[in-house]
């Protein structure tokens, strides 16, 4: 039974409060996890019903109704797995110190990588030995491997990238208050994920691993990547430049099919990727003036322009039969002219 019953704070997550409850009552984190699991409400349960029971259980122990007011990223697991960091815990060491060991709700958002209060990058590993910060470390306020206190973690000065900035602007008190906020939050985080995924192909840095290996990215690398995506989205011409540079590199690597070159973009178009990116790809296609054998499928073109592929096929057969290098494929060099003619014929 818990003898010490600290008050929760709306500036912390349910995860944070559960860890603090254990600490205040001299439970090890493992013993506390076992205790909750024995009640049929494991700390990490992804089942929404048992998360509710977990909250009710804690409120019952406390004799107060306050746990349900806490932000719980695990309550989003089924709807929005991609919007939160479940596997790693990020903290601002300065905020962590000032709050005496609380985890702020916004640190759990995957694309929030900075602290606006202290102007620094969040940290998710021990700055001494590199071990990931986990619940045990938060519980003991120390690295689980080398014992370095979390509050002495080195933090790098960093301006928020635009994705972190969007999270900072959210009203903390409204993160969980009702269904409408929940929907708005899910929409925002989905858009962030789609945008970063869509732009990622166009912002590779020379020394960066391919974004597909992003799981291996450190927090600092993720930040650099989000900065690059933010910059590519800062204006239409910046997006155009990123697309043109990427395309130039892939072509010089030997790719000859534009649909393969922009293979993520077709999916992107159907998944509501950013309009600036779609526009940049159109600009690239329309202004392509190199006779270097690059081809484009009519189906891919109709996807890009959101037009009916059968009618584009018919238009090409009727008016530009000779331009087809094989059935349904034309040179990229001719694409701007063909699309222009098609759109004018409508
Ligand atoms: Zn801070
Ligand atoms: Zn360490």
Joined tokens for residue 35: 């205790």
- Ligand number nearest CA of 102 is 1
pLDDT for 266 = 60
Please state the rounded mean pLDDT for residues 85-90.
Answer: 90
Residues 6+ apart with CB under 8 A from 126: 132, 133, 137, 143, 145, 146, 148, 150, 153
Most distant CA pair in the chain: distance in Å? 84
Which has the minimum average pLDDT: 122-131, 145-154, 196-205, 321-330?
196-205
Give strand pairing partners of 149: 142
Q: 164 CA distance to ligand 1 centroid (A)? A: 13
Residue 282 has pLDDT above 70, yes or no: yes
> How is residue 309 written in tokens?
């592929």
Is 109 in contact with 164 (CB distance < 8 Å)? no
Q: Is 202 helix (H, G, I), strand (E, B) or coil?
A: coil
Q: Which numbered ligand comes closest to the C-alpha of 134?
A: 2
Q: Which two tokens stand for residue 249?
A: 């590199």
Instruction: Domain ranges for the chain, please list them.
Output: 14-74, 236-345
Q: Which ligand is nearest to the CA of 118?
A: 1
226 Cα–ligand 1 center, Å: 19
* Nearest ligand, CA 103: 1
Cα–Cα distance for residue pair 144/138, rounded to 1 Å: 9
| Residue 149 alpha carbon to ligand 2 centre in Å | 8
Q: Are 110 and 80 in contact (CB under 8 A)?
A: no
Given a cut of 60, is residue 205 above it in pLDDT? no
Report how far apart, in Å, the C-alpha atoms of 315 and of each of 296, 320, 342 are. Answer: 16, 8, 7
pLDDT at 211 over 80: no
Q: Which residues pair with 91 in a beta bridge?
A: 123
pLDDT digits (tens, 9 = 90+) for 240-255: 998 888 888 888 888 8
Ligand 1 centroid vs 100 CA: distance in angstroms?
Answer: 12
Average per-residue pLDDT for the chain? 89
How far, in Å, from the CA of 87 to the mean position of ligand 1?
21
Residue 137 CA: which ligand is closest? 2
Write out pLDDT tens, residues 3-52: 788 899 889 999 999 999 999 999 999 999 999 999 999 988 888 899 99
Give the residue-averaged pLDDT of 328-332: 94
Confidence at residue 209, expressed as pLDDT on a 0 to 100 scale: 47
Mapped onto helix, strand or coil, the DSSP state of residue 109 is strand
């Amino acid at each position: 039974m818990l003898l010490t019953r600290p008050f929760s704070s709306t500036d912390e997550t349910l995860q944070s409060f559960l860890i603090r409850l254990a600490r205040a009552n001299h439970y090890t984190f493992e013993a506390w996890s076992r205790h909750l699991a024995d009640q049929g409400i494991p700390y990490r349960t992804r089942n929404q019903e048992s998360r509710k029971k977990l909250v009710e259980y804690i409120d019952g122990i406390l004799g107060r109704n306050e746990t349900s007011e806490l932000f719980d990223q695990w309550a989003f697991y089924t709807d929005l797995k991609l919007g939160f960091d479940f596997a790693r815990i990020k903290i601002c060491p300065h905020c962590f110190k000032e709050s005496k060991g609380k985890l702020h709700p916004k640190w759990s958002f995957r694309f929030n990588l900075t602290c606006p209060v202290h102007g620094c990058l969040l940290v998710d590993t021990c700055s001494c030995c590199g071990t990931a910060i986990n619940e045990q470390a938060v519980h003991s306020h120390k690295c689980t491997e080398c014992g370095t206190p979390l509050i002495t973690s080195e933090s790098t000065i960093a301006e928020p990238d635009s994705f972190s900035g969007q999270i900072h602007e959210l009203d903390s008190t409204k993160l969980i208050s009702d269904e409408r906020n929940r929907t708005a939050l899910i929409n925002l985080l989905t858009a962030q994920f789609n945008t970063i995924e869509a732009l990622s192909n166009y912002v590779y840095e020379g020394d960066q691993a391919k974004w597909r290996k992003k799981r291996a990215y450190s927090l600092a690398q993720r930040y650099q990547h989000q900065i690059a995506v933010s910059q590519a989205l800062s204006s239409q011409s910046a997006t155009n430049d990123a697309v043109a540079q990427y395309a130039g590199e892939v072509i010089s690597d030997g790719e000859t099919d534009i649909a393969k070159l922009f293979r993520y973009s077709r999916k992107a178009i159907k998944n509501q990727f950013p309009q600036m990116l779609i526009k940049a790809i159109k600009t690239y296609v329309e202004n392509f003036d190199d006779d270097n054998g690059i081809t484009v499928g009519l189906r891919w073109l109709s996807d890009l322009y959101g037009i009916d592929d059968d009618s584009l096929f018919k238009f090409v057969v009727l008016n530009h039969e000779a331009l087809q290098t094989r059935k349904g494929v034309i040179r990229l060099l001719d694409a701007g002219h063909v699309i222009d003619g098609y759109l004018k014929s409508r």
